Chains A and B, each alone.
Chain A
Amino acid sequence: QVQLQESGPGLVKPSETLSLTCAVSGYSISSGYYWGWIRQPPGKGLEWIGSIYHSGSTYYNPSLKSRVTISVDTSKNQFSLKLSSVTAADTAVYYCATQAASGIDYWGQGTLVTVSS
């Protein structure tokens, strides 16, 4: 059973960089899947942020591409998200997830990140 757990600061100041890590257990990141980040602003819908393969190949949402970096650490079985120059519009619950061609079958519980001074 694949389990994912997000971690990182729950409060980030405007213009700073949001950093989150997703720890994966029950499955080796190197075994397959793309590993993705999805976010959901309070009371709004889901937004795909981007995904990474264990080789390091990345794919980003064009609307966020200039500010997003996703990386993977296979030795720690985890992957990470960095989002730079954040504003209040980046306040959201951030989910990490497995990303198969058929859909997302495993999700983290989500972590709320608030952008505020």
Chain B
Amino acid sequence: DIQLTQSPSFLSASVGDRVTITCRASQGISSYLAWYQQKPGKAPKLLIYAASTLQSGVPSRFSGSGSGTEFTLTISSLQPEDFATYYCQQLNSYPRSTFGGGTKVEIK
């Protein structure tokens, strides 16, 4: 099974900060990685797929990069509505899948 490790698991940041979240895969997954944002009591929302492609309607301050085993999600200028938990998901073994453990972004 492919394991995904996200870091950090928690981060505290201010509005306007640049934020980077890392997702590491236990084996190479090419670019088969997606990122989600989840707010309390809501289903996750797809932000980025294929490691770096922005889902329609997602603000351009979100970006993704990486391939193989290391991936990053960057928020260029954190906005109040971005405080949430972020998950990565590998799709290299589609339709099988696994999620990372999540990164909670809170207000400093």
Do A and B share a complex?
A: yes
Residues on A lying within 8 angstroms of B by beta carbon are 34, 36, 38, 45-48, 51, 53, 59, 61-62, 95, 97, 99, 101-105, 107-110
Identify 12 new A-B residue pairs, CB closer than 8 A, beyond the known A104-B46, A107-B44.
A34-B94, A46-B89, A48-B89, A48-B98, A48-B99, A53-B95, A102-B49, A103-B46, A103-B89, A104-B89, A105-B46, A108-B43
Residues on B lying within 8 angstroms of A by beta carbon are 1, 32, 34, 36, 38, 43-44, 46, 49-50, 53, 55, 87, 89, 91, 94-102
Q: Which residue of A lies closest to B1 (CB)?
A: A62
Closest 7 CB pairs of A and B: A103-B34, A107-B43, A102-B49, A34-B95, A46-B99, A103-B49, A45-B102
Given contacts A46-B102, A103-B89, A36 and B43 within 8 Å (CB-CB): no
Q: Which residue of A lies closest to B102 (CB)?
A: A45
CB-defined contacts of A97 to chain B, threshold 8 Å: 43
Kindly count the residue-residue contacts between A and B in the assembled complex, taking CB atoms under 8 Å apart: 63
The CA of A45 and the CA of B99, in the complex, are separated in Å by 8
CB-defined contacts of A99 to chain B, threshold 8 Å: 94-95, 97
A95 nearest CB across to chain B (Å): 6
Determine whether the beta carbon of B91 is less than 8 Å from that of A101: yes
Q: Which residue of B lies closest to A105 (CB)?
A: B46
B48 nearest CB across to chain A (Å): 8
Determine whether the beta carbon of B43 is less than 8 Å from that of A95: yes
A109 nearest CB across to chain B (Å): 6
A60 nearest CB across to chain B (Å): 8
CB-defined contacts of A107 to chain B, threshold 8 Å: 43-44
What are 14 A-B residue pairs whose CB atoms fall within 8 Å in the complex?
Answer: A34-B95, A38-B99, A46-B36, A51-B95, A95-B43, A97-B43, A99-B95, A101-B91, A103-B34, A103-B49, A103-B55, A103-B89, A103-B91, A104-B89
Q: Which residue of A lies closest to B100 (CB)?
A: A45
